[in-house]
Amino acid sequence: MQDVVAKSTERRFLKPFSGEAINPPPVWLMRQAGRYLPEYRATRKEAGSFLDLCYNPSLAAEVTLQPIRRYGFDASILFSDILVVPDALGQRVTFAEGEGPRLDPIREVAGLARLSLTNTGEKFGRVCETVSRLRQDLPRETTLIGFCGAPWTVATYMVEGRGSTDQGEARGWAYRDPAGFAQLIDILTEASIVYLTEQIKAGADVIQIFDSWAGSLAENQFQQWVVLPTARIVNALKSAYPHVPVIGFPRGAASQLAHFVEGTNVDGVSCDTSCPLGVMQMVAARGVVAQGNLDPLLLVAGGEALDRRVDEILDAMHGRRFVFNLGHGIVPETAPEHVAQLVERVRRSR
Ligand code: 1CP
Protein backbone atom coordinates (compact mmCIF):
# COMPACT_ATOMS: atom_id res chain seq x y z
CA MET A 1 0.00 0.00 0.00
CA GLN A 2 2.79 2.41 0.93
CA ASP A 3 4.45 1.68 -2.38
CA VAL A 4 1.26 2.58 -4.24
CA VAL A 5 1.05 5.92 -2.41
CA ALA A 6 4.73 6.67 -3.04
CA LYS A 7 4.33 5.95 -6.75
CA SER A 8 1.23 8.05 -7.18
CA THR A 9 2.76 11.10 -5.49
CA GLU A 10 5.52 11.06 -8.10
CA ARG A 11 2.96 11.64 -10.83
CA ARG A 12 3.10 15.30 -11.85
CA PHE A 13 -0.33 15.11 -13.40
CA LEU A 14 -1.94 14.57 -10.00
CA LYS A 15 -0.35 17.58 -8.28
CA PRO A 16 -2.91 20.24 -9.28
CA PHE A 17 -5.59 17.86 -7.99
CA SER A 18 -3.99 17.89 -4.55
CA GLY A 19 -3.95 21.69 -4.59
CA GLU A 20 -0.43 22.20 -5.89
CA ALA A 21 -0.15 24.52 -8.92
CA ILE A 22 2.99 23.45 -10.81
CA ASN A 23 5.05 25.11 -13.55
CA PRO A 24 5.24 23.92 -16.21
CA PRO A 25 1.74 22.49 -15.89
CA PRO A 26 1.00 18.83 -16.71
CA VAL A 27 0.13 18.29 -20.38
CA TRP A 28 -1.84 15.71 -22.39
CA LEU A 29 -4.12 16.09 -25.41
CA MET A 30 -7.59 14.74 -26.12
CA ARG A 31 -7.44 12.18 -28.99
CA GLN A 32 -3.68 11.99 -28.57
CA ALA A 33 -3.94 8.50 -30.07
CA GLY A 34 -5.51 8.66 -33.50
CA ARG A 35 -5.32 9.06 -37.22
CA TYR A 36 -2.78 11.93 -37.26
CA LEU A 37 -0.14 9.33 -36.22
CA PRO A 38 1.17 6.95 -38.94
CA GLU A 39 1.74 4.22 -36.36
CA TYR A 40 -1.95 4.46 -35.32
CA ARG A 41 -3.07 4.10 -38.94
CA ALA A 42 -0.90 0.98 -39.26
CA THR A 43 -2.31 -0.67 -36.10
CA ARG A 44 -5.84 0.36 -37.06
CA LYS A 45 -5.46 -1.52 -40.38
CA GLU A 46 -4.28 -4.61 -38.58
CA ALA A 47 -7.24 -4.53 -36.16
CA GLY A 48 -10.14 -4.68 -38.63
CA SER A 49 -13.05 -2.48 -37.61
CA PHE A 50 -12.77 0.42 -35.18
CA LEU A 51 -14.70 -1.45 -32.48
CA ASP A 52 -12.51 -4.54 -33.01
CA LEU A 53 -9.62 -2.27 -32.07
CA CYS A 54 -11.43 -1.03 -28.93
CA TYR A 55 -12.11 -4.64 -27.82
CA ASN A 56 -8.60 -5.96 -28.56
CA PRO A 57 -6.60 -5.41 -25.33
CA SER A 58 -3.21 -5.91 -26.94
CA LEU A 59 -3.80 -3.53 -29.89
CA ALA A 60 -5.80 -0.99 -27.84
CA ALA A 61 -2.93 -0.85 -25.32
CA GLU A 62 -0.47 -0.45 -28.19
CA VAL A 63 -2.26 2.60 -29.69
CA THR A 64 -2.63 4.13 -26.22
CA LEU A 65 1.14 3.87 -25.72
CA GLN A 66 2.10 5.29 -29.15
CA PRO A 67 1.71 9.00 -28.25
CA ILE A 68 3.39 8.41 -24.87
CA ARG A 69 6.47 7.00 -26.62
CA ARG A 70 6.61 9.96 -29.00
CA TYR A 71 5.86 12.85 -26.66
CA GLY A 72 6.08 11.64 -23.04
CA PHE A 73 2.76 13.20 -22.05
CA ASP A 74 2.05 13.39 -18.31
CA ALA A 75 -1.16 11.41 -18.80
CA SER A 76 -2.28 8.60 -21.02
CA ILE A 77 -5.95 8.08 -21.87
CA LEU A 78 -7.29 4.57 -22.36
CA PHE A 79 -7.98 3.95 -26.06
CA SER A 80 -11.65 3.12 -26.40
CA ASP A 81 -14.83 5.01 -27.32
CA ILE A 82 -17.86 6.39 -25.53
CA LEU A 83 -20.09 4.19 -27.73
CA VAL A 84 -18.74 0.99 -26.13
CA VAL A 85 -21.44 1.49 -23.47
CA PRO A 86 -24.52 1.30 -25.78
CA ASP A 87 -22.78 -1.51 -27.69
CA ALA A 88 -22.26 -3.50 -24.47
CA LEU A 89 -25.85 -2.78 -23.36
CA GLY A 90 -27.12 -4.46 -26.53
CA GLN A 91 -27.70 -1.67 -29.07
CA ARG A 92 -25.45 -2.65 -31.94
CA VAL A 93 -22.92 0.04 -32.92
CA THR A 94 -20.98 0.13 -36.20
CA PHE A 95 -18.46 2.62 -37.54
CA ALA A 96 -18.82 3.04 -41.29
CA GLU A 97 -15.44 3.96 -42.80
CA GLY A 98 -15.14 7.74 -42.95
CA GLU A 99 -18.75 8.26 -41.84
CA GLY A 100 -18.74 8.01 -38.05
CA PRO A 101 -20.95 5.85 -35.82
CA ARG A 102 -24.25 4.22 -36.79
CA LEU A 103 -26.78 2.77 -34.30
CA ASP A 104 -30.29 1.44 -34.76
CA PRO A 105 -32.07 4.40 -33.07
CA ILE A 106 -34.17 4.12 -29.91
CA ARG A 107 -36.86 6.83 -29.94
CA GLU A 108 -39.34 5.69 -27.27
CA VAL A 109 -39.55 3.76 -24.01
CA ALA A 110 -40.45 0.44 -25.73
CA GLY A 111 -36.99 0.48 -27.34
CA LEU A 112 -35.29 0.34 -23.95
CA ALA A 113 -36.24 -3.34 -23.65
CA ARG A 114 -33.31 -4.02 -26.00
CA LEU A 115 -30.84 -2.86 -23.33
CA SER A 116 -29.54 -4.92 -20.46
CA LEU A 117 -26.88 -4.14 -17.88
CA THR A 118 -26.40 -7.84 -17.13
CA ASN A 119 -24.95 -8.38 -20.63
CA THR A 120 -22.16 -5.83 -20.32
CA GLY A 121 -19.63 -8.00 -18.47
CA GLU A 122 -17.78 -9.46 -21.43
CA LYS A 123 -17.26 -6.23 -23.37
CA PHE A 124 -16.49 -4.09 -20.32
CA GLY A 125 -14.10 -6.86 -19.28
CA ARG A 126 -12.13 -6.58 -22.51
CA VAL A 127 -11.74 -2.81 -22.10
CA CYS A 128 -10.64 -3.30 -18.49
CA GLU A 129 -8.08 -5.87 -19.64
CA THR A 130 -6.59 -3.01 -21.72
CA VAL A 131 -6.51 -0.84 -18.57
CA SER A 132 -4.62 -3.50 -16.57
CA ARG A 133 -2.10 -4.01 -19.37
CA LEU A 134 -1.55 -0.27 -19.57
CA ARG A 135 -0.98 0.09 -15.84
CA GLN A 136 1.76 -2.53 -16.24
CA ASP A 137 3.32 -1.11 -19.41
CA LEU A 138 3.17 2.64 -18.87
CA PRO A 139 6.13 4.46 -17.34
CA ARG A 140 5.40 4.75 -13.64
CA GLU A 141 5.32 8.55 -13.75
CA THR A 142 2.52 8.53 -16.35
CA THR A 143 -1.02 8.91 -15.03
CA LEU A 144 -3.65 6.65 -16.61
CA ILE A 145 -7.02 8.25 -17.40
CA GLY A 146 -10.10 6.05 -17.74
CA PHE A 147 -13.27 7.51 -19.25
CA CYS A 148 -16.85 7.21 -20.37
CA GLY A 149 -19.32 9.41 -22.19
CA ALA A 150 -21.77 11.30 -19.98
CA PRO A 151 -25.32 9.88 -20.02
CA TRP A 152 -26.70 12.87 -21.98
CA THR A 153 -24.12 12.68 -24.79
CA VAL A 154 -24.29 8.87 -25.09
CA ALA A 155 -28.11 9.10 -25.12
CA THR A 156 -27.97 11.56 -28.05
CA TYR A 157 -26.16 8.94 -30.19
CA MET A 158 -28.55 6.19 -29.07
CA VAL A 159 -31.62 8.27 -29.94
CA GLU A 160 -30.34 9.91 -33.15
CA GLY A 161 -28.61 6.73 -34.39
CA ARG A 162 -25.58 8.82 -35.41
CA GLY A 163 -23.76 12.07 -34.71
CA SER A 164 -26.04 15.08 -35.25
CA THR A 165 -25.70 18.84 -35.38
CA ASP A 166 -28.51 19.78 -32.96
CA GLN A 167 -29.37 16.58 -31.02
CA GLY A 168 -32.97 17.38 -32.01
CA GLU A 169 -34.42 13.88 -31.62
CA ALA A 170 -33.01 13.47 -28.10
CA ARG A 171 -34.08 16.95 -27.00
CA GLY A 172 -37.51 16.29 -28.49
CA TRP A 173 -37.98 13.02 -26.59
CA ALA A 174 -36.84 14.70 -23.35
CA TYR A 175 -39.55 17.40 -23.76
CA ARG A 176 -42.30 15.08 -25.02
CA ASP A 177 -41.82 12.31 -22.46
CA PRO A 178 -39.43 13.34 -19.66
CA ALA A 179 -40.23 10.26 -17.53
CA GLY A 180 -39.46 7.88 -20.40
CA PHE A 181 -36.27 9.72 -21.36
CA ALA A 182 -35.23 9.66 -17.68
CA GLN A 183 -35.34 5.84 -17.85
CA LEU A 184 -32.74 5.90 -20.62
CA ILE A 185 -30.59 8.36 -18.66
CA ASP A 186 -30.89 6.15 -15.54
CA ILE A 187 -29.77 3.05 -17.44
CA LEU A 188 -26.75 4.95 -18.76
CA THR A 189 -25.95 6.42 -15.33
CA GLU A 190 -25.98 2.94 -13.74
CA ALA A 191 -23.94 1.44 -16.59
CA SER A 192 -21.40 4.28 -16.35
CA ILE A 193 -20.95 3.73 -12.61
CA VAL A 194 -20.32 0.00 -13.15
CA TYR A 195 -17.99 0.63 -16.10
CA LEU A 196 -15.92 3.34 -14.39
CA THR A 197 -15.70 1.36 -11.15
CA GLU A 198 -14.26 -1.57 -13.14
CA GLN A 199 -11.77 0.75 -14.85
CA ILE A 200 -10.60 2.08 -11.46
CA LYS A 201 -10.27 -1.47 -10.11
CA ALA A 202 -8.20 -2.37 -13.19
CA GLY A 203 -5.80 0.55 -12.59
CA ALA A 204 -7.23 3.88 -13.86
CA ASP A 205 -5.83 6.75 -11.73
CA VAL A 206 -8.19 9.47 -12.93
CA ILE A 207 -11.59 9.48 -14.67
CA GLN A 208 -12.84 11.86 -17.36
CA ILE A 209 -16.51 12.10 -18.31
CA PHE A 210 -17.04 13.40 -21.86
CA ASP A 211 -20.24 15.43 -22.36
CA SER A 212 -19.61 16.63 -25.90
CA TRP A 213 -23.18 17.81 -26.49
CA ALA A 214 -23.85 19.46 -23.11
CA GLY A 215 -23.95 22.84 -24.86
CA SER A 216 -27.17 22.16 -26.77
CA LEU A 217 -29.41 22.18 -23.68
CA ALA A 218 -31.54 24.93 -22.14
CA GLU A 219 -30.65 25.84 -18.54
CA ASN A 220 -33.30 23.66 -16.86
CA GLN A 221 -32.57 20.72 -19.19
CA PHE A 222 -28.85 21.11 -18.51
CA GLN A 223 -29.58 20.74 -14.80
CA GLN A 224 -31.71 17.65 -15.32
CA TRP A 225 -29.77 15.74 -17.98
CA VAL A 226 -26.18 16.92 -17.42
CA VAL A 227 -25.68 18.11 -13.82
CA LEU A 228 -27.80 15.55 -11.92
CA PRO A 229 -26.64 12.37 -13.73
CA THR A 230 -23.00 13.54 -13.61
CA ALA A 231 -23.36 14.23 -9.88
CA ARG A 232 -24.74 10.71 -9.36
CA ILE A 233 -21.77 9.17 -11.13
CA VAL A 234 -19.21 11.37 -9.35
CA ASN A 235 -20.72 10.74 -5.92
CA ALA A 236 -20.97 6.97 -6.45
CA LEU A 237 -17.28 6.84 -7.46
CA LYS A 238 -16.25 9.13 -4.60
CA SER A 239 -17.98 7.04 -1.97
CA ALA A 240 -15.85 4.03 -2.99
CA TYR A 241 -12.70 5.76 -4.31
CA PRO A 242 -12.41 9.22 -2.72
CA HIS A 243 -8.79 9.61 -3.91
CA VAL A 244 -9.55 9.16 -7.64
CA PRO A 245 -10.00 12.60 -9.30
CA VAL A 246 -12.92 12.99 -11.70
CA ILE A 247 -12.79 15.51 -14.57
CA GLY A 248 -15.99 16.66 -16.28
CA PHE A 249 -16.08 17.94 -19.86
CA PRO A 250 -19.38 19.73 -20.50
CA ARG A 251 -18.42 20.96 -23.97
CA GLY A 252 -20.07 24.16 -25.15
CA ALA A 253 -21.35 25.04 -21.68
CA ALA A 254 -18.89 27.74 -20.54
CA SER A 255 -21.76 29.97 -19.41
CA GLN A 256 -22.97 27.22 -17.05
CA LEU A 257 -19.58 26.16 -15.66
CA ALA A 258 -20.03 27.71 -12.20
CA HIS A 259 -23.27 25.83 -11.86
CA PHE A 260 -21.71 22.60 -13.23
CA VAL A 261 -18.82 22.78 -10.76
CA GLU A 262 -21.13 23.43 -7.83
CA GLY A 263 -23.71 20.82 -8.76
CA THR A 264 -21.52 17.86 -9.75
CA ASN A 265 -18.66 17.71 -7.19
CA VAL A 266 -16.08 17.15 -9.97
CA ASP A 267 -12.38 17.70 -9.18
CA GLY A 268 -11.56 19.13 -12.60
CA VAL A 269 -13.28 20.68 -15.60
CA SER A 270 -12.07 20.37 -19.17
CA CYS A 271 -12.82 23.64 -20.96
CA ASP A 272 -13.58 23.90 -24.68
CA THR A 273 -11.99 26.41 -27.03
CA SER A 274 -14.78 28.99 -26.75
CA CYS A 275 -14.47 29.11 -22.95
CA PRO A 276 -12.88 32.46 -21.92
CA LEU A 277 -9.61 32.19 -19.98
CA GLY A 278 -11.29 34.32 -17.28
CA VAL A 279 -13.84 31.54 -16.77
CA MET A 280 -11.02 29.00 -16.45
CA GLN A 281 -9.43 31.25 -13.82
CA MET A 282 -12.77 31.35 -11.98
CA VAL A 283 -12.92 27.51 -12.05
CA ALA A 284 -9.40 27.28 -10.58
CA ALA A 285 -10.22 29.90 -7.94
CA ARG A 286 -13.02 27.61 -6.74
CA GLY A 287 -10.47 24.90 -5.96
CA VAL A 288 -11.26 22.88 -9.10
CA VAL A 289 -8.59 22.06 -11.71
CA ALA A 290 -9.14 23.79 -15.06
CA GLN A 291 -8.01 21.87 -18.14
CA GLY A 292 -7.85 23.10 -21.73
CA ASN A 293 -8.41 24.96 -24.01
CA LEU A 294 -6.16 25.43 -27.06
CA ASP A 295 -7.98 25.37 -30.41
CA PRO A 296 -7.19 22.03 -32.16
CA LEU A 297 -7.02 23.99 -35.43
CA LEU A 298 -4.04 25.97 -34.11
CA LEU A 299 -2.31 22.63 -33.79
CA VAL A 300 -2.99 22.13 -37.50
CA ALA A 301 -1.69 25.63 -38.32
CA GLY A 302 1.48 25.37 -36.18
CA GLY A 303 4.14 28.10 -36.40
CA GLU A 304 4.13 31.36 -34.47
CA ALA A 305 0.36 31.52 -34.11
CA LEU A 306 0.51 28.27 -32.14
CA ASP A 307 3.38 29.49 -29.94
CA ARG A 308 1.65 32.80 -29.19
CA ARG A 309 -1.59 31.22 -28.04
CA VAL A 310 0.20 28.55 -25.97
CA ASP A 311 2.01 31.38 -24.18
CA GLU A 312 -1.21 33.34 -23.59
CA ILE A 313 -2.89 30.32 -22.03
CA LEU A 314 0.18 29.52 -19.89
CA ASP A 315 0.37 33.16 -18.71
CA ALA A 316 -3.31 33.32 -17.81
CA MET A 317 -3.16 30.05 -15.85
CA HIS A 318 0.28 30.53 -14.25
CA GLY A 319 0.28 29.65 -10.55
CA ARG A 320 -3.26 28.23 -10.73
CA ARG A 321 -4.59 24.67 -10.67
CA PHE A 322 -4.27 23.89 -14.37
CA VAL A 323 -3.66 21.09 -16.87
CA PHE A 324 -2.66 22.03 -20.42
CA ASN A 325 -4.86 20.44 -23.10
CA LEU A 326 -6.85 21.24 -26.23
CA GLY A 327 -10.44 22.48 -26.21
CA HIS A 328 -11.46 19.34 -28.16
CA GLY A 329 -9.73 16.37 -29.80
CA ILE A 330 -6.73 16.41 -32.16
CA VAL A 331 -7.96 16.35 -35.77
CA PRO A 332 -6.52 13.87 -38.32
CA GLU A 333 -4.95 16.69 -40.45
CA THR A 334 -2.55 17.60 -37.61
CA ALA A 335 1.18 17.29 -38.34
CA PRO A 336 2.86 15.19 -35.62
CA GLU A 337 5.72 17.77 -35.52
CA HIS A 338 3.27 20.44 -34.39
CA VAL A 339 2.38 18.30 -31.39
CA ALA A 340 6.10 18.05 -30.58
CA GLN A 341 6.37 21.86 -30.90
CA LEU A 342 3.48 22.34 -28.48
CA VAL A 343 4.79 19.90 -25.87
CA GLU A 344 8.24 21.45 -25.98
CA ARG A 345 6.80 24.96 -25.61
CA VAL A 346 4.76 23.95 -22.56
CA ARG A 347 7.66 22.03 -20.98
CA ARG A 348 10.09 24.95 -21.40
CA SER A 349 7.76 27.45 -19.74
CA ARG A 350 8.49 28.60 -16.21
O1 1CP B 1 -9.82 5.18 -36.38
C2 1CP B 1 -10.72 6.01 -36.60
O3 1CP B 1 -10.81 6.62 -37.66
C4 1CP B 1 -11.78 6.29 -35.58
C5 1CP B 1 -11.75 7.66 -35.03
C6 1CP B 1 -12.03 7.60 -33.53
C7 1CP B 1 -11.07 7.59 -32.51
C8 1CP B 1 -9.58 7.72 -32.62
C9 1CP B 1 -13.31 7.44 -32.93
C10 1CP B 1 -14.60 7.30 -33.64
N11 1CP B 1 -13.13 7.34 -31.56
C12 1CP B 1 -11.79 7.45 -31.25
C13 1CP B 1 -11.16 7.33 -29.92
C14 1CP B 1 -11.77 8.06 -28.80
N15 1CP B 1 -13.05 8.56 -28.73
C16 1CP B 1 -11.14 8.30 -27.57
C17 1CP B 1 -9.76 7.70 -27.27
C18 1CP B 1 -8.81 8.30 -26.42
C19 1CP B 1 -8.10 9.55 -26.93
O20 1CP B 1 -8.57 10.66 -26.67
O21 1CP B 1 -6.98 9.40 -27.48
C22 1CP B 1 -12.03 9.04 -26.77
C23 1CP B 1 -11.82 9.59 -25.39
C24 1CP B 1 -13.23 9.18 -27.51
C25 1CP B 1 -14.44 9.83 -27.00
C26 1CP B 1 -15.56 10.12 -27.94
N27 1CP B 1 -16.07 9.34 -28.95
C28 1CP B 1 -16.37 11.27 -27.85
C29 1CP B 1 -16.20 12.34 -26.79
C30 1CP B 1 -15.15 13.33 -27.16
C31 1CP B 1 -15.41 14.12 -28.41
O32 1CP B 1 -14.66 13.91 -29.40
O33 1CP B 1 -16.35 14.95 -28.42
C34 1CP B 1 -17.35 11.20 -28.85
C35 1CP B 1 -18.44 12.22 -29.15
C36 1CP B 1 -17.15 9.97 -29.54
C37 1CP B 1 -17.99 9.45 -30.65
C38 1CP B 1 -17.18 9.21 -31.86
N39 1CP B 1 -16.29 8.18 -31.98
C40 1CP B 1 -15.65 8.25 -33.19
C41 1CP B 1 -16.15 9.40 -33.88
C42 1CP B 1 -15.74 9.82 -35.26
C43 1CP B 1 -17.07 10.01 -33.02
C44 1CP B 1 -17.80 11.32 -33.27
C45 1CP B 1 -18.99 11.14 -34.12
C46 1CP B 1 -19.70 12.45 -34.41
O47 1CP B 1 -20.59 12.85 -33.64
O48 1CP B 1 -19.37 13.07 -35.42
The structural domains of the chain, with segments of one domain joined by +, span: 2-347
Give the whole-number percent of the chain exceeding pLDDT 70. Answer: 97
Which tens digit of pLDDT belongs to each residue from 5-59?
Answer: 445 557 999 999 999 999 999 999 999 999 999 999 999 999 999 999 999 999 9
Predicted local confidence at residue 6, as pLDDT: 46
Main-chain dihedrals φ then ψ at residue 29, nearest 5 degrees: -130, 135
Q: Is the pLDDT of residue 323 over 70?
A: yes
Q: Which residues line ligand 1 (CB under 6 A)?
A: 30-35, 44, 50, 77, 79, 81-83, 95, 100-101, 147, 149, 163, 210, 212, 329
Which tens digit of pLDDT belongs to each residue from 91-101?
Answer: 999 998 888 99
Predicted local confidence at residue 9, as pLDDT: 52
Predicted local confidence at residue 96, as pLDDT: 84
pLDDT-based confidence at 289, cuts 50/70/90?
very high
CA distances from 218 to 51, 131, 223, 252, 280 (A): 33, 36, 9, 12, 22
Q: Which atom of ligand 1 is nearest to the CA of 30?
A: 20
Give the whole-number percent of the chain exceeding pLDDT 90. Answer: 95
Mean pLDDT of 224-251: 98
Nearest CA to ligand 1 atom 28: 82
Domain 2-347 carries which CATH code?
A: 3.20.20.210
Predicted local confidence at residue 153, as pLDDT: 98
Q: Which member of 40, 157, 272, 321 is catalytic?
A: 157
Residue 139: other Cβ atoms inside 10 A: 10
* Span from the CA of 81 to the centroid of ligand 1 (angstroms): 6
State whether the Cα torsion 315-319-321-323 is positive or negative: positive
Predicted local confidence at residue 10, as pLDDT: 79
* Span from the CA of 86 to the centroid of ligand 1 (angstroms): 14
Mean pLDDT of the chain: 96
pLDDT-based confidence at 2, cuts 50/70/90?
very low
Mean pLDDT of 235-256: 98
The Cα–Cα gap between 288 and 134 comes to 27
Active site residue 166: no
Pocket test of ligand 1: the residue of 81, 130, 208 to mutate, having most ligand atoms within 8 Å of its CB, is 81
Tally of CA atoms within 13 A in the half-sphere of 262 that contains its CB: 6
Q: Is the pLDDT of residue 3 over 50?
A: no
pTM for the structure as a whole? 0.96
The Cα–Cα gap between 248 and 308 comes to 27
pLDDT-based confidence at 350, cuts 50/70/90?
confident
The Cα–Cα gap between 131 and 330 comes to 22
Active site residue 35: yes
The Cα–Cα gap between 232 and 107 comes to 24
Nearest CA to ligand 1 atom 8: 34
State whether the Cα torsion 272-161-263-219 is positive or negative: positive
Q: Which member of 11, 12, 55, 81 is catalytic?
A: 81
Active site residue 44: yes
* Span from the CA of 318 to the centroid of ligand 1 (angstroms): 30
The Cα–Cα gap between 247 and 238 comes to 12
Predicted local confidence at residue 1, as pLDDT: 41
Mean pLDDT of 211-221: 98
Which of 54, 176, 56 has its CA nearest to residue 107?
A: 176
